[in-house]
Structures are given as structure tokens and as C-alpha cells.
């Protein structure tokens, strides 16, 4: 079946800099490449028939942050967990107190492993922070990144394993096994990539790691440029390209398009592999605001409107379908006309796993 026109369905690098849009520094590609509506229609027509003939649906999810964790909880209810591979952002990774901390990998792991703290929105359930509290008594400045006591065990295990010669992808698999996760979790790369921001604070120009900007300084600085340091030398982690090439579809989780999904797509070869697959994405923006995080502060830096339309534009050379919230139903026409993809409207505010499953099923149905 070929869809000749984008439809609306309703169901129950980059070196990125301010005002200049998407730039090309240090060999980094832009978040999106403009494409004509006719080209995008051809993408859908080529993919949909193949999906309809497929008995099994293997899915790769591009993931980062809490929104991805919530969505993945629903995705593994809609599909057999073994058919889901999550490729996770590692641009946020940092070394803290000599330990390798991977916030997005850990968030996805804790959500899929049913160890997350839903009330706090991050970290592990039934967590304590005695070590961090004691460190604060010694040196308050050194305790700016809150590591829970249970969480520390993950970082200790990861750091020791890396020192013993294990790759990040292999260690991630060992950690996932500890939580009895049936899906595959892969870092975007085994090489280090750092999301860094050039900001202006009180007239002074600063070069900050993403976690310094967001956690230590509360995201208060004026961001001028975003870059993914080290991405030129990074290659996809083992299994990433194979998983994408073998997938029936790729799902872009409702994550920050700039600093959660952007680094993944900037790794050499990943964008090209994704572009060859059917792709559906879920908007992380509802009613003009992100449900979590700082996408509203960073999207304008790269020339993206803070809306379901702007988020779709981040992937307009990749998308076949886009899922938006009921609160943004009025924007469906703009997504169809400006991005040229099918639009699905549903409740995307994932208050619990039942809603997350509904969102996942709506996304899967958009291409099947």
C-alpha cells in the first residue's frame, strides 16, 4: 500500500549555534537536511508495504533521558522485549569522583529494569543519598552532582570493568543483565563524545560540559553554541549498525532533539543507517513546552521552534510519521505541510505504563 499524501491519524553535530541555525564546524553535520515533500512521500511508499508483509517487528529506539525511559516501558509491553534495541546517548557522560557516570544509559536501564524512581523522575527507587550528604559536609562544591548510594554501585562496577579492559557496550550489557532486562541496550559509541556548550554568564564566555550547564549551574546561562566534542573520531558501538539495518523500523523517543538524539545521529554512519529505515518519532514538546528537561532553552539555539512542529523539523530528512499530543492537534496541518509526514494524534503524557503502551502502539501503528 502506498500513501500518496501525508495523513493525520487520531487514536485514543553538529556544531549548533545561536541565531545562525545549524552550522558545520569540526566536520559535524546538521540536525536535518531539507527535503521536498515528493521525496518524503516516496520514503513512505517504499517502506510501508514491507512492514505490512512482516510477521515480526524488530525496533530500534533512539533514546536519551527520562522521556525515553518512560516510552520504552510502554514499547516493551507492545512488543516482545527481545525485539527492542535501545541505542542510547552518551554525550552526557562524565567522570565524577573518579567514576564513569553515564546518565542516559543508567536512566534507560533503571526504567527498563523496573528500578526507576517515578516520583523523583530520575535515579533509582528507594534510593538514599548518605554518601553525597556526607561529602557535602566535607566539601559542598564537590557534591553538586547527586549520586545515590545504590547508583554508586553501578558507577563503581562500570569504572572497574572499564579499567579491566571491557568496552562500554560490553559493560552496559553486563549491567542490563543484572537488572534482568530482556531488551538490548547499546551506547551510541564506545568512544568518548562530550556535549559541550559555549555560554555567556555575567559577560564572561565559558566552555561547559552539558552537566555543568544543566545540573551545576541550573541551566541559567545564555547558550551560544553546542558541539559534540570527539564525535568526528567516534564510531557506532558494536551492534548498533547491525541492529538498525535489521530493524523493521526506527523509533525516535520523546527525548531532547538537540542534546539527547542529536549526539546519536552525529556519530559516523548512524544517520545514514537510520535514513534507510522506516522512522516514526514522538514529540517531546507538548503545548509549547517540554515535559521534562531543557529542550525549550536549547532548541532556539539551533534555530528550532519550541513546538511539536519544531521538534519534527529536527528529523525532517528521516521521518515517515510523527506522533503529537492531543494538546497540539491544531499543529497537525503544519507538520503535514511543512515537514511532509503522516501525523498521529494521541495522549502522549505518559503518567503511567498504560499510557506509555498506548503511545508505543500508536507509533508502531503509524507505519504498519
Residue 125: strand, helix, or coil: coil
CB 7 within 8 A of CB 42: no
- Find the distance separating the first CA and the last CA of the chain, reported in whole Å: 10
Would residue 351 count as lying in a domain? yes
For residue 280, name the pLDDT band (cuts at 50, 70, 90).
Answer: very high
Q: What is the mean pLDDT of residues 322-344?
A: 96
Asked if residue 350 is part of any domain, the answer here is yes
Look at residue 122 and give its three-state secondary structure.
Answer: coil
Q: Which domain holds residue 247?
A: 8-93+228-365
pLDDT of residue 41: 41
pTM for this predicted structure: 0.87
Q: Is residue 103 part of a domain?
A: no
Widest Cα–Cα separation across the chain: 66
Average confidence score pLDDT of the chain: 87
Report how many domains make up the chain. 1
Q: What secondary structure, in 3-state letters, does 208-257 show?
A: EEHHHHHHHCCCCCEEEEEEEECHHHCCECCCHHHHHHHCCEEEECCCCH
Report CA-CA distances (Å) from 280 to 150, 173, 321. 35, 26, 5
Residue 1 included in any domain? no
Helix (H, G, I), strand (E, B) or coil at 317: coil
pLDDT digits (tens, 9 = 90+) for 222-267: 999 999 999 999 999 999 999 999 999 999 999 999 999 999 999 9
pLDDT reported for residue 56: 62
| pLDDT tens digits, one per residue of 76-111 | 999 999 999 999 999 999 999 999 999 999 999 999
Q: Return the percentage of the chain with pLDDT > 70, whole number.
A: 85
- Residue 44 in any domain: the answer is yes
How many other CB atoms sit within 10 Å of the CB of residue 326? Answer: 14
Question: Which CATH number do you get for residue 266?
Answer: 3.40.50.10680
The contacts of residue 340 (CB under 8 Å, 6+ apart) are 6, 35, 36, 37, 40, 41, 316
Within-domain flag for 2: no
Does some domain include residue 176? no
d(CA 241, CA 250): 12
Shortest CA distance to 69 belongs to which of 11, 148, 123?
Answer: 123
Calculate mean pLDDT across residues 111-125: 90
For residues 345 and 230, give the distance between their C-alpha atoms in angstroms, rounded to a whole number. Answer: 38
322 in any annotated domain: yes
Amino acid at each position: 500500500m502506498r500513501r500518496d499524501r501525508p495523513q493525520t491519524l487520531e487514536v485514543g553535530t553538529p556544531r549548533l549555534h545561536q541565531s545562525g541555525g545549524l552550522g558545520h564546524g569540526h566536520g559535524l553535520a546538521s540536525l536535518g537536511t531539507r527535503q521536498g515533500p515528493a521525496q518524503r512521500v516516496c520514503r513512505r511508499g517504499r517502506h510501508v508495504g514491507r512492514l505490512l508483509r512482516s510477521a515480526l517487528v524488530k525496533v530500534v529506539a533512539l533514546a536519551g533521558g527520562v522521556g525515553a525511559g518512560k516510552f520504552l516501558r510502554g514499547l516493551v509491553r507492545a512488543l516482545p522485549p527481545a525485539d527492542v534495541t535501545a541505542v542510547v546517548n552518551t554525550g552526557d557522560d562524565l567522570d565524577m569522583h573518579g567514576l564513569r557516570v553515564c546518565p542516559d544509559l543508567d536512566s534507560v536501564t533503571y526504567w527498563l529494569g523496573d528500578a526507576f524512581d517515578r516520583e523523583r523522575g530520575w535515579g533509582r527507587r528507594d534510593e538514599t543519598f548518605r554518601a553525597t550528604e556526607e561529602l557535602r559536609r566535607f566539601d559542598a562544591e564537590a557534591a553538586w552532582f547527586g549520586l545515590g548510594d545504590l547508583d554508586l554501585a553501578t558507577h563503581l562496577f562500570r569504572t572497574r570493568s572499564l579499567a579491566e579492559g571491557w568496552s562500554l557496550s560490553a559493560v552496559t550489557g553486563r549491567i542490563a543483565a543484572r537488572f534482568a532486562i530482556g531488551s538490548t541496550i547499546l551506547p551510541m559509541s564506545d568512544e568518548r563524545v562530550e556535549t559541550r556548550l559555549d555560554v555567556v554568564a555575567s559577560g564572561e564566555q565559558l566552555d561547559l560540559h552539558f552537566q555543568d550547564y544543566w545540573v551545576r549551574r541550573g541551566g541559567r546561562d545564555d547558550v551560544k553554541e553546542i558541539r559534540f566534542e570527539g564525535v568526528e573520531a567516534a564510531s557506532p558501538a558494536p551492534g548498533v549498525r547491525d541492529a538498525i539495518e535489521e530493524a523493521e523500523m526506527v523509533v525516535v523517543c520523546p527525548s531532547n532533539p538537540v542534546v539527547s538524539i542529536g549526539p546519536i545521529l552525529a556519530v559516523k554512519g548512524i544517520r545514514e543507517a537510520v535514513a534507510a529505515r522506516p522512522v516514526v518519532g514522538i514529540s517531546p514538546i507538548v503545548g509549547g513546552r517540554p515535559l521534562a528537561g531543557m529542550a525549550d532553552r536549547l532548541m532556539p539555539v539551533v534555530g528550532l521552534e519550541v513546538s511539536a512542529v519544531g521538534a519534527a523539523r529536527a528529523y525532517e530528512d528521516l521521518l515517515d510519521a510523527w506522533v503529537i499530543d492531543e494538546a497540539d492537534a491544531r499543529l497537525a496541518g503544519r507538520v503535514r505541510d511543512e515537514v511532509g509526514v503522516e501525523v498521529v494524534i494521541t495522549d502522549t503524557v505518559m503518567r503511567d505504563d498504560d499510557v506509555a503502551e498506548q503511545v508505543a502502539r500508536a507509533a508502531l501503528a503509524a507505519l504498519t
